Amino acid sequence: MAVGGSASRRAQEARRQERLLREQWQAARQQARRWEAADEGERRVAAQLLVLTARGWRLLVDRRWPGTRAANVDMLLVGPGGVFVLDVKNWRSAPEISQGRLRAGGEARDEHAAKLLAVTKAAESAVASLGMSPVAVQPLMVFAGHRVDAALGRIRLLGEHEVGPALLSERLRLPAASVRAIADLLERVFPEYEGSAVPQPQPQPQPQPLPPSPAQPQEDLSDGLFDLDGLREAALDETLRAPIEQWMTFLGPDQVALVRRNWAGPARISGPAGTGKTVVGLHRAAHLAQRTTGRLLYVTFANNLPRVQATFLKTMSPAVADRVDFRSLHSWAQEFLQDRGVPVRLHGDKAETAFSLAWKHVGRDSRLTEIDPAPGYWKEEIDHVIKGRGITSFEEYATVIRRRRRASLRRVHRQAVWALYEAYEALRAERGVHDFNDVLSLALAEARRRTGQHRYAAVIVDEVQDLTLVGVRLLHALVGDAPNGLLLVGDGQQAVYPGGFRLSEAGIDIRGDRGQVLRTNYRNSKEILDTALAVVAEDSFEDIDGLRTPGRREVDLTYHDGQVIRVARPTPAEHDQALLEALHGLPPAARADSAVLCPSMRAIGRYQRLLERAGISVCLLEHYDGRPVDAVKLGSYHRAKGLEFKRVYLPEYDATLTDSSRAPDTEASETGRERDELSRSRLFVAMTRARDVLWLGSVDR
Ligand SMILES: Nc1ncnc2c1ncn2[C@@H]1O[C@H](COP(=O)(O)OP(=O)(O)OP(=O)(O)O)[C@@H](O)[C@H]1O
């Protein structure tokens, strides 16, 4: 479309909105004047809000607060932007916020904020019965006669001129039917006082676009009491705002209950892929941020996921988004050490060199090669078993249960591993560098040294199965067993790293209702989920609570179409051509919601070149932050963890599966079986990222 065409259409829309708003504004002013129960300040606020009622909002004025004898609620407003609980103030002095306290005219006014928060809580409880998350209910204090735009915790403070435009600028959360259902419910829960009704205009049908008319002279609608300007600006942008995702406002009943629950100590949410664990974690973060004054830490193992999750929270609950730190565990730990003045020199490459030398000196001619000749297996043993569990003596290592490690090691083998470990540590220390595990161990020692001095009110850990035991101990040390302090979210079936641990080994005791399981998959279609589950059907797994669970799990599905497309070609070139054809066949907008996922860095490099040469824009997952970009996403199975896409393409998806992996009864070494199992888990994770289409490419050699 020509640029000139779209600019003229936009100007036409602007004129239409202007005309509509003027009519609505005239009507609102008349109605506000007729509202006799209110004083002048309230009438001016009402006029701003009554304009919204002509644009699909419902305004409930002067309602009784259930469960109290005399207390009232000034206004409840329900509209496309969510639910707002309003307290209108006609104070002579402007409000001031200082050190988290509300003041006016030199006096403390905290009780007004406390009352508004209590009413908001009552409104949250009411709408929870409709599946609405508490994060979509927002308290507002509106000041007649003042210009204000500030925040006091979760309460937004707005002046009479600011309130209308601010509400009109909210992202679209509720469709018209939900607005009606929620307003009807609130009308019942917060009954009307006698004679308090404000006459409400019926939403007017939106007029059809008119042909462009010559510019009309601007009628001055401002009569000293009322002011249209701010609303005009916000209304012009209204049509451009995209609605936010449904799950950012409405949850399943089991999810809402978890978001709002009070836990007396550490808690855990588990459940199969796609059951909304992260969604609950994000709503919980927003909910806790609304209820506390401290900061929250939301941690995952992966580097790119925190950026995506931060973007989601900002969209979902902008008022509290800056109170939650989204971090990957290692980057957070490094910063923590830096803040505490603990020297740390993380150098992955030099640490790798130290290991290679140690392998050369004491590994490759040792008894370890009887079990597995590849140094990688023994590097994992050091990383995930010895250092990952914080083991510092041979006596401890000699008897430790090596969770999720298949090869059984006799004492001589453990001695050989220990010799390798000691050589590695000596060579690493000689180079004066730390590895990733050292960073966590140092941070744990520091966190334990100064307990009670940590700045987090709560810590939420997502994809907890990816962490090591030391990592989990570290996060536990930040909040201890405080009520609502630690929440662990994850699924043992999606473990993509070797080794493992049990929560009891981290000193975390999850009792009774503090261990919760979600069971409804909201993401995948049946066909896609069945295909993914078939890969891990024979792999039972032990989760961090120590329970063994079969690979094929019972999951409830939400009705949802989707398909698996299998493409087999005789040569890699023909296979790649089929992938390109599939991507070229998508409308440009659909590419943005598609991902090509690969098992290795080499494959990523290869497919990046292939796609770019074919003129397909690519966004690497390591640069993706959850905001829409007009490009196909490309990344590893690991980096896709926790994410989802409408279409997922897995080129040569079966190349990492060995024969024993395809047919698990086939003969394979213990370490080979362990590797195969991990490959299947990773493939399972990649497949379950697909919502609507899963494309499986293979080469029939
Ligand atoms: N209540 C809900 N209503 C509608 N959609 C939902 C709801 N809860 C979750 N979803 C959808 O399901 C998807 C999966 O949710 P989420 O990523 O939280 O699952 P998960 O259990 O963390 O998945 P995984 O373990 O596979 O990473 C969400 O992105 C969202 O699209």
Q: Is the pLDDT of residue 234 over 70?
A: no
Residue 551 Cβ inside 6 Å of ligand 1? The answer reads no
Out of 130, 135, 279, 305, mutate this one to test ligand 1's pocket (max ligand atoms within 8 Å of CB): namely 279
CA max distance for the chain? 94
Sequence-distant (≥ 6) Cβ neighbours of residue 662 within 8 angstroms: 654
Question: Does a structural domain hold residue 121?
Answer: yes
pLDDT of residue 44: 81
684 CA from centroid of ligand 1 (Å)? 16
Test site for ligand 1: of 247, 248, 555, 643, most ligand atoms within 8 A of the Cβ: 247
Which ligand 1 atom minimizes the distance to the CA of 279? Answer: 18
Q: Output the CA 287–ligand 1 centroid distance in Å.
A: 18
Report the 10 Å Cβ neighbour count for 554: 7
523 CB near ligand 1 (under 6 Å): yes
Which of 640, 598, 634 lies closest to 616 in space, CA to CA?
634
- Residue for token pair 């969510």: 82
- Rounded to the nearest angstrom, the distance between the alpha carbon of 179 and the centre of ligand 1 is 24
pLDDT of residue 214: 37
Residues 464, 324 share a domain: yes
Strand partners, 517: 270
Residues 14, 79 within the same domain: yes
How many angstroms separate the alpha carbon of residue 456 from the centre of ligand 1? 26
Q: Residue 326 corresponds to which tokens in the numbers above? A: 């989204």
Q: Dig out the tokens for 506 from the structure.
A: 């981290």
Would residue 529 count as lying in a domain? no
Ligand 1 centre to CA of 668 (Å) is 36
Whether 493 is in the pocket of ligand 1, judged by its Cβ within 6 Å, is no
State which H helix or E strand residue 699 sits in: strand 690-699
Averaged pLDDT for residues 607-626: 95
635 bridge partner residues: 597
Residue having the nearest C-alpha atom to atom 11 of ligand 1: 522
Checking if the pLDDT of 693 tops 50, the result is yes
> Is residue 48 one of the residues assigned to a domain?
yes
Are 208 and 67 contacting, i.e. CB atoms less than 8 angstroms apart?
Answer: no
The SS3 of residue 246 is: helix
Alpha carbon distance 496, 467 (integer Å): 10
**Over 50: is that where the pLDDT of 207 sits?**
no
Name the closest-CA residue to atom 25, ligand 1. Answer: 273
State in Å: Cα 560 to ligand 1 middle.
13
Neighbour order of strands in the sheet with 594-598: 563-569, 690-699, 645-650, 594-598, 632-636, 618-620
Spatial distance between the Cα atoms of 461 and 306, rounded to a whole number of angstroms:
11
Output the pLDDT for position 244.
Answer: 86
Spell out the alpha helix ranges (H) of 198-291. 229-238, 253-260, 277-291
Q: Is residue 445 part of a domain?
A: no
> For residue 15, is pLDDT > 90?
no
Q: Report whether residue 688 contacts ligand 1, using a CB cutoff of 6 Å.
A: yes
Residue nearest to atom 7 of ligand 1 (CA): 247
Q: What angle do CA 698, 656, 596 make, to 5 degrees?
A: 60
CB of 279 within 6 A of ligand 1: the answer is yes
Residues 315, 257 share a domain:
yes
Q: Which atom of ligand 1 is nearest to the CA of 490?
A: 25
- Is there a single domain that holds both residue 62 and residue 163? yes
Cβ-based burial of 200 (10 A; exposed 0-12, middle 13-18, buried ≥19): middle
CA distance 461 to 502: 15
Q: Whose CA is nearest to atom 1 of ligand 1?
A: 251
State the Cα–Cα distance between residues 96 and 99, nearest whole angstrom: 10
Residues 411 and 517 in one domain: no
State the distance from the centre of ligand 1 to the C-alpha of 278, rounded, in angstroms.
7
Domains held by the chain: number: 4
The rounded Cα 353 to chain-centroid distance in angstroms is: 37
Pocket test for ligand 1, best of 522, 637, 682 (most atoms within 8 A of CB): 522
526 in a structural domain: no
Pocket of ligand 1 contains residue 642 by CB under 6 Å: yes
Task: Give the residue with greater pLDDT, 660 vs 460.
Answer: 460
- Top-confidence range, 148-152, 293-297, 458-462: 458-462
For residues 116-122, average pLDDT: 93
Q: Evaluate: CB of 277 within 6 angstroms of ligand 1.
A: yes
In the predicted structure, residue 49 carries a pLDDT above the cut 90: no
Q: Whose CA is nearest to atom 10 of ligand 1?
A: 522
Q: Give me the count of residues in the chain.
A: 701
For residue range 245-288, list pLDDT tens digits in order.
899 999 999 999 999 999 999 999 999 999 999 999 999 999 99
Same-domain status, 29 and 177: yes
Over the chain, what is the mean pLDDT?
A: 87
Closest by Cα among 597, 510, 498, 506 to 541: 498
pLDDT of residue 553: 87
Q: Is the pLDDT assigned to residue 573 strictly greater than 90?
A: yes
For residue 522 and ligand 1, the question of a CB distance below 6 A is answered with: yes
Examine the domain organization and report whether 336 and 355 are in the same domain: no
The arithmetic mean of pLDDT across residues 605-623, rounded, is 96
Nearest CA to 332 among 452, 451, 460?
A: 460
Q: So what's the pLDDT on residue 581?
A: 97
Q: Mean pLDDT lowest for which of 64-78, 285-299, 652-666?
A: 652-666
138 CA to centre of own chain: 20
Residue 452 reports pLDDT greater than 80: no
d(CA 558, CA 519): 11
Cβ-count burial 307-337 (b if 16+ within 10 Å, e if not) = bbbbbbbbbbbebbbebbbbbbbbebbbebb
Tell me which residue has its CA closest to atom 31 in ligand 1: 523
Check: CB of residue 185 under 8 Å from CB of residue 132.
Answer: no
The CA-CA-CA angle for residues 674, 680, 685, to 5°, reads 130
The pLDDT score that the predictor gives to residue 50 is 84
Closest CA to 25 of 179, 214, 234: 234
pLDDT of residue 205: 45
Q: Which residues are annotated as a binding site for ATP?
A: 271-278
Kindly give the distance from the C-alpha atom of residue 510 to the centroid of ligand 1, in angstroms, as a whole number: 24
Q: Which residues contact 523 (CB under 8 A, 6 or more apart)?
A: 273, 274, 644, 688, 691
In the reported structure, the alpha carbon of residue 517 is separated from the centroid of ligand 1 by a whole-number distance in angstroms of: 14
pLDDT for position 618: 96
Q: Which of 260, 262, 254, 265 is nearest to 286 (CA)?
A: 260
Residues 333 and 364 in one domain: no
Q: For residue 196, how far is its CA from the centre of ligand 1 (angstroms)? A: 43
User: Which of 433, 465, 496 finishes a domain?
Assistant: 433
Secondary structure (H, E, C), 653-684: CCCCCCHHHHCCCCCCCHHHHHHHHHHHHHHH
CA dihedral 515, 520, 525, 528 (to 10 degrees): 30
Q: Is residue 532 a part of any domain in this protein?
A: no
What's the mean pLDDT in 71-95? 92
Specify the pLDDT at position 141. Answer: 96
* Whole-number Cα distances in Å, 427 to 218, 356, 377, 424, 483: 79, 10, 19, 5, 44
Do β-strands 541-542 and 548-549 pair in parallel, antiparallel, or remain unpaired? antiparallel
Q: In CATH, what number is assigned to the domain containing residue 256?
A: 3.40.50.300
d(CA 134, CA 126): 10
Q: How far apart are the first and last CA of the chain?
A: 46
Q: Ligand 1 in contact with 247 (CB < 6 A)?
A: yes
Residue 605 has pLDDT above 80, yes or no: yes
Percent residues over pLDDT 70 in the chain: 87
d(CA 82, CA 632): 33
Instruction: For ligand 1, say whether the CB of 227 is within 6 Å of any of its atoms.
Output: no
Rg (Cα) of the chain, in Å, rounded?
29
Q: Model confidence over 300-332: pLDDT tens digits?
A: 998 889 999 999 999 999 989 999 999 999 999
**Do 355 and 333 reside in the same domain of the chain?**
no
Shared domain for 257 and 397, answered yes or no, is no
CB 255 less than 6 A from any atom of ligand 1:
yes
Q: With a 6 A CB cut-off, is 490 part of the ligand 1 pocket?
A: no
Give the residue, 141 or 541, on which the prediction is more confident: 141
Q: Mark whether 318 and 358 lie in a shared domain.
A: no
Mutation test residue for ligand 1: of 135, 644, 685, the one with most atoms within 8 Å of CB: 644
Question: Atom 4, ligand 1: which residue's CA is nearest?
Answer: 247
The mean pLDDT value for 164-190 works out to 92
- Residue 19 reports pLDDT greater than 70: yes
- The confidence band for 74, taking pLDDT boundaries of 50, 70 and 90, is confident
252 touches ligand 1 (CB under 6 Å): yes
DSSP 445-465: HHHHHTTT---EEEEEESSGG
Ligand 1 in reach of 383 Cβ (< 6 A): no
Decide if 536 is inside a domain.
no
Contact 399, 411 (CB under 8 A): no
Tell me how far apart the alpha carbons of residues 301 and 468 are, in angstroms, rounded to a whole number: 10
More confident site: 43 or 469? 469
pLDDT at 659 over 70: no
Q: Is 681 in the pocket of ligand 1 (CB under 6 A)?
A: no
**What's residue 224's pLDDT?**
43
Residue 161 in this model has a pLDDT that exceeds 90: no
Task: Categorize the per-residue pLDDT at 441 as very low, low, confident or very high, splitting at 50, 70 and 90.
Answer: very high
76 in the same domain as 27: yes
Q: Can you give the residue range of the structural domain that contains 403?
A: 348-433
| Residue 528 within a domain | no
pLDDT for position 237: 65
- Looking at residue 220, its pLDDT comes to 45
> For residue 462, which atom of ligand 1 is closest to its CA?
22
